[in-house]
Structure 1
Amino acid sequence: MTTSDLWDEATAASYDEASAAMFAPDVLDPTVDRLAELAGEGRALELAIGTGRVGIPLAERGVEVVGIELSEPMAEQLRRKAPDLPVTIGDMATTQVEGTFALVYLVFNTIGNLTTQDEQVACFANAARHLGPGGRFVVEVGVPALRRLPPGQVAIPFDVSAEHVGLDTYDPVTQQAMSHHYSREANGSYSYWPHHFRYVWPSELDLMARLAGLRLESRTADWRGAPFTAESESHVSVWRA
């Protein structure tokens, strides 16, 4: 078992609603378009497939999709929507499934759910084990926002609204971080949900890829292919076997 936070039944039941913005066509369609292009006629493996936000529409495009998911409640939510999409319960750093794939991918900052460098290195190795010759590993993840963290400040807000306040706290020594979610419920009460993650730099990911025998093929700022620059807040990176 990895150090990743484990999504429970309550979190899984509300995940799609809480992440509604990520299901919007202008967000999801470019993601699926690019992944379908990279998969071509081959199979795709999604690590941490969750409730199937990306895996289900990708399968609907005709790509054979297989998933690995740590949380049984999250996988159950997916099965209710797409019972024929196969999901193996296990961690993305070590769990293996049968066969080889043209594409292995991780979206929406999920590489950070592995909260140690060793586990992130193991994840790259696991992805490489599943790739056939010329196959690709794709990771979508944010660039650490440390440039926005002045001396003495411990938190960076990433969402502030009447319904939700989100703050990230960072430890620049260990690269451990935490997202703090404060949400207003329908009954007027407030809930708090923390999420632990390990932030990782693009160059660090490239080294993990090299250790796994993969080479960087492309890096863009988003799924539409915008150039990655020093001002980019996230990146979509593709490494090839």
Structure 2
Amino acid sequence: MDADVWTERVARDYDTSSTHMYAPEVLGPAVDFLERRAGQGPALEFAVGTGRVALPLSERGIRVAGIEKSEPMARELCGKPGGEDVPVTVGDMTTARVTGAFSLVYLVYNAITCLLTQDEQVACFGNAAQHLAPGGRFVIEVFVPDLQRLPPGETARPFHIGEQHVGFDTYDLVNQHLVSHHYTVEAGRGTTFLSPHRYVWPSELDLMAKLAGLDLIERWADWNEAPFTSASRSHISVWRKPPSRTGTL
């Protein structure tokens, strides 16, 4: 994951460009879902960003820590109300370590695709497994590649069209890469943000989990636990670290 993408300017404007992700009908179910999977244990967010999910989850009484590669994004989180309650380790989510064992490790808003190689994504699963206590859960929210909806000969698909933000993805089908294009207008000022991603299929993620010793236990189409089908455009997947023989968690 290239920290240079997540610059001071991007970090400063990130919440504004992602306003739609803060809507109660979007954020509320995500926090509810994660709170239930954390139980009474602590949670760790990989790619914690500016704390969109970590801060409200912490407000629910869950002890939340984060790993974030971008120092500007981490500073934005730490400067918010409640930010002092979410300790952030600046580092790569494929290798960075946080002290302790967690009942929940999670990655939201397609963050797994910010890792641009299969090896990095496999390493992310391994790092999550290392942080989990026996019986702990690893949760990922990620889109299903939109390839079926690409007309023949086209390589671009919009994912959001709003009054202040327009976003679309361009696909490199050979290399399993895409670039997300974000165009935001606020107070008459326009900004452009391009972020590269490696898209990944649910079955490929399941294999990565198996390599890390994790078992798939849930897959939903959204945070409201709608059934996942062949028509679903995203999924929330939950893998579990096998419980210890004493049956903890």
Establish whether residue 176 from structure 1 lines up as the match of residue 180 from structure 2: no
RMSD (Å) for aligned C-alpha atoms: 1.3
In structure 2, the partner of 1:122 is 123
Establish whether residue 202 from structure 1 lines up as the match of residue 226 from structure 2: no
Aligned amino acid, residue 72 of structure 1: E
Aligned amino acid, residue 233 of structure 1: R
Aligned amino acid, residue 146 of structure 2: A
**Equivalent residue pairs, number:** 239
In structure 2, the partner of 1:165 is 166
Establish whether residue 61 from structure 1 lines up as the match of residue 60 from structure 2: yes
Superposed displacement of residue 83, structure 1? 1.6
**Preserved CA contact (<8 Å) 1:179 1:194:** yes
Aligned amino acid, residue 214 of structure 1: L
**The 10-residue stretch of structure 1 (75-84 or 231-240) with the greater mean CA deviation from structure 2:** 75-84
Superposed displacement of residue 5, structure 1? 5.4
In structure 2, the partner of 1:25 is 24
**The 10-residue stretch of structure 1 (82-91 or 231-240) with the greater mean CA deviation from structure 2:** 82-91
Q: What's the secondary structure of 1:59's corresponding residue?
A: helix
Distance 1:173 1:34, change over 3 A: same
Aligned amino acid, residue 224 of structure 1: N
Q: What's the secondary structure of 2:170's corresponding residue?
A: strand
Aligned amino acid, residue 126 of structure 1: N
TM (norm. structure 2) is 0.92
Superposed displacement of residue 4, structure 1? 5.8
**The 10-residue stretch of structure 1 (81-90 or 163-172) with the greater mean CA deviation from structure 2:** 163-172
Distance 1:225 1:162, change over 3 A: closer
Distance 1:161 1:103, change over 3 A: closer
Aligned amino acid, residue 13 of structure 1: R
Q: What's the secondary structure of 2:85's corresponding residue?
A: coil
Superposed displacement of residue 3, structure 1? 4.2
Aligned amino acid, residue 147 of structure 2: L
Q: Please give the alpha-carbon distance, in whole angstroms, between the structure 1 residues aligned to 2:200 and 2:12.
A: 29
Q: Please give the alpha-carbon distance, in whole angstroms, between the structure 2 residues aligned to 1:87 and 1:192.
A: 27
Establish whether residue 236 from structure 1 lines up as the match of residue 236 from structure 2: yes
In structure 2, the partner of 1:219 is 219
**Preserved CA contact (<8 Å) 1:43 1:101:** yes
Q: Please give the alpha-carbon distance, in whole angstroms, between the structure 2 residues aligned to 1:29 and 1:162.
A: 23
In structure 2, the partner of 1:16 is 15
Superposed displacement of residue 141, structure 1? 0.3
**Preserved CA contact (<8 Å) 1:4 1:114:** no
**Preserved CA contact (<8 Å) 1:179 1:195:** yes
Q: Please give the alpha-carbon distance, in whole angstroms, between the structure 1 residues aligned to 2:194 and 2:13.
A: 15
Superposed displacement of residue 186, structure 1? 2.7
Q: Please give the alpha-carbon distance, in whole angstroms, between the structure 2 residues aligned to 1:161 and 1:32.
A: 24
Establish whether residue 152 from structure 1 lines up as the match of residue 153 from structure 2: yes
Could you list the runs of 4 or more consecutive aligned residues of structure 1 that deviate by over 6 angstroms after TM superposition?
none
Superposed displacement of residue 180, structure 1? 1.3
- 1:23-70 CA distance string (max 9 Å, x none): 111111111111111011111000000111100111111111010001
Superposed displacement of residue 185, structure 1? 4.6
Q: List aligned pairs for 1:180-195, cutoff 5 A.
A: 180-187=181-188, 190-195=190-195
For structure 2, list consecutive stretches of 5 or more residues without a partner in the other structure.
Answer: 242-249
In structure 1, the partner of 2:42 is 43
**Preserved CA contact (<8 Å) 1:6 1:70:** no
Superposed displacement of residue 161, structure 1? 4.1
TM (norm. structure 1) is 0.95
Q: Please give the alpha-carbon distance, in whole angstroms, between the structure 2 residues aligned to 1:147 and 1:5.
A: 32
- 1:109-146 CA distance string (max 9 Å, x none): 00000011100000000000000110100000000000
For structure 1, list consecutive stretches of 5 or more residues without a partner in the other structure.
Answer: none
Distance 1:74 1:195, change over 3 A: same
**Preserved CA contact (<8 Å) 2:183 2:191:** yes
**Preserved CA contact (<8 Å) 2:10 2:193:** no
**Preserved CA contact (<8 Å) 1:217 1:239:** yes
Aligned amino acid, residue 200 of structure 1: V
